[in-house]
Amino acid sequence: MEETYDIALATEHDLDAVLDLQERNLPKNGGTLSARLSRGWFETAMAAMPVVVARRAGRLVGYLVSAPVAAFTEVSVVQAMLEAYRGASDAYIYGPICVDEIERGQGVANAMFASLRAQLPGREGILFIRCDNAASLRAHGRMGMCEVAKFYHNGTQFVVLSYVG
Ligand SMILES: CC(C)(COP(=O)(O)OP(=O)(O)OC[C@H]1O[C@@H](n2cnc3c(N)ncnc32)[C@H](O)[C@@H]1OP(=O)(O)O)[C@@H](O)C(=O)NCCC(=O)NCCS
């Protein structure tokens, strides 16, 4: 990856840009994110665990959330994943992850993951990906994550991946 990306922990000043990036990547806008999370949700997540962002020339171009399982009690697709695979007792949820469309294919996702992993050594992370999200499956396969289960939610099939930091 080029040196042009600054990878850092998110602060409250990133929230507007994170929410904007999320909005542009929701299914209603042609995107592939599975759930819309509120500003309050992101604030709570940031206080609990690392939320990593990527910036280029001062502009936010990506974010990667890590959060405790308990943060997702209201998110039905995550509950469906946990029924298929629960992971270790201290496992955390990896994601959502999103990279701005014009910055994709340059390893930004992997750079954010490397930063997250360094901050949570030895802990299991679990995530789900829609089976038809080829870009995400490729990106996360390259990161060395392993498929551990599959599940359906609202008629869509998802794969569950796991790794240990
Ligand atoms: C999934 C995602 C985070 C990957 O981020 P990334 O930084 O682009 O990851 P990579 O650089 O490793 O690229 C991964 C794959 O994206 C695809 N890709 C490359 N350039 C692309 C572009 N301009 N636009 C779309 N996809 C592209 C390629 O298939 C690439 O795999 P390849 O290098 O083996 O061909 C990003 O595509 C994204 O934010 N998607 C929208 C939100 C989403 O689906 N999040 C994940 C939900 S599980």
Position 34 pLDDT exceeds 70: yes
Position 2 pLDDT exceeds 60: no
Q: What angle do CA 94, 63, 138 make, to 5 degrees?
A: 60
Position 58 pLDDT exceeds 70: yes
Q: pLDDT-based confidence at 165, cuts 50/70/90?
A: confident
* Residue 54 CA, ligand 1 centroid: distance in Å: 14
Query: Mean pLDDT for the chain?
Result: 95
Q: Tell me how far apart the alpha carbons of residues 49 and 113 are, in angstroms, rounded to a whole number.
A: 14
Q: Tell me how far apart the alpha carbons of residues 125 and 147 are, in angstroms, rounded to a whole number.
A: 12
Q: Tell me how far apart the alpha carbons of residues 89 and 123 are, in angstroms, rounded to a whole number.
A: 10
Are 18 and 63 a contacting pair, CB within 8 Å? yes
Q: Which domain holds residue 77?
A: 5-164
Query: From start to end of 69-145, where are the E strands?
Result: 92-99, 124-130
- Which residue's CA lies nearest to atom 24 of ligand 1? 104
CATH of the domain at 74: 3.40.630.30
Lookup: tokens for 79: 């509950």
Position 121 pLDDT exceeds 70: yes
Give the pocket of ligand 1 (CB within 6 Å): 25, 31-33, 97-99, 101, 104-110, 129, 133, 135-136, 138-139
Amino acid in the structure at residue 160: V
Q: For 6, phi and psi rounded to 5 degrees? A: -105, 120
Q: How many CA atoms lie within 13 A of 88 on its CB side?
A: 11
Task: State the pLDDT at residue 1.
Answer: 60
